[in-house]
Amino acid sequence: MRLISWNVNGLRAVVAKDGFAWLSKFKPDFLGIQETKLNEEQIPKEIYNLGFANLSANSAVRAGYSGVMSLHNFPCVTHKSLFNDDTEGRVLQHDFKDISLFNIYFPNGQKDDERLKFKLEFYAKFLAYLDELRKNRRKIIICGDVNTAHREIDLKNPKANSQTSGFLKIEREWIDELLSHGFIDTFRAVRGDEVAYSWWSYRFNARAKNVGWRIDYFFISEDLRANLKDAFILSEITGSDHCPVGIDIEI
């Protein structure tokens, strides 16, 4: 099964650029989209013609903000967030077999201290919820824009960004904690210390210079390690300031 995640930073804009033409080559069974910036009534008709059997969406109360969408070719039970009051449309949970698959647009903490606090609280609530699922023997897959680079290798200029939200010690420590609770960063598990990024600022010609950050992830629980066959970053795919990331996994 091939699973791909992409923060599109505005779904309608990507559709207008024919930004999903690459799907015919990579043929994912699941596509998790973040930052759709629309409600269900505004979903472009082209999305329904991408070849997926199922579509789920979670939109923010605030118009033109946040939002996640999942397209998939397998039956599942879908929930919006079960661990926090999700007025910002950040979470979709898909339960099938003994697996819970999450498509999440994690908060950005760069605006101010209040948003950083919100981000850290979101992290904490989510990890506590994952622990409960694991107690019930659920296997876990998490994909999405985590809005934090984990290690110095995961961004071009770590020292210059050490006091910037997205690379703060306290944010990076949450990823450490997630891994210590029995989760795997799939890209690192497969690719080792390969340098690759998934987000580039629109400023300063950053993408052309490859001055980027790896902030989009697939995490899996340890009990799926043997099922993981590949992990990849599709840096050649344009249309957003992020590129798609994905895994191949036997399920």
Q: What is the DSSP code string of 147-179?
A: S---SGGGBS-TTTTTTSTTS-HHHHHHHHHHH
Q: Are 47 and 11 in contact (CB under 8 A)?
A: yes
Question: How far, in Å, CA of 138 to CA of 122, rounded?
Answer: 21
- Asked if residue 150 lies in contact with residue 108, where contact means CB atoms within 8 angstroms, the answer is no
Contact 30, 99 (CB under 8 A): no
Output 77-85 pairs: Cβ under 8 A, ≥24 positions apart: 82/129, 83/125, 83/126, 83/128, 83/129, 84/122, 84/125, 84/126
* Nearest CA-CA partner of 245 in 148, 146, 143, 166: 143
Q: Which residues are bridge partners to 200 per DSSP?
A: 212
- d(Cα 27, Cα 204) in Å, to the nearest integer? 33
Q: Is-catalytic flag, 223?
A: no
**Active-site hit among 95, 113, 145, 193:** 145
What residues are annotated to the active site? 145
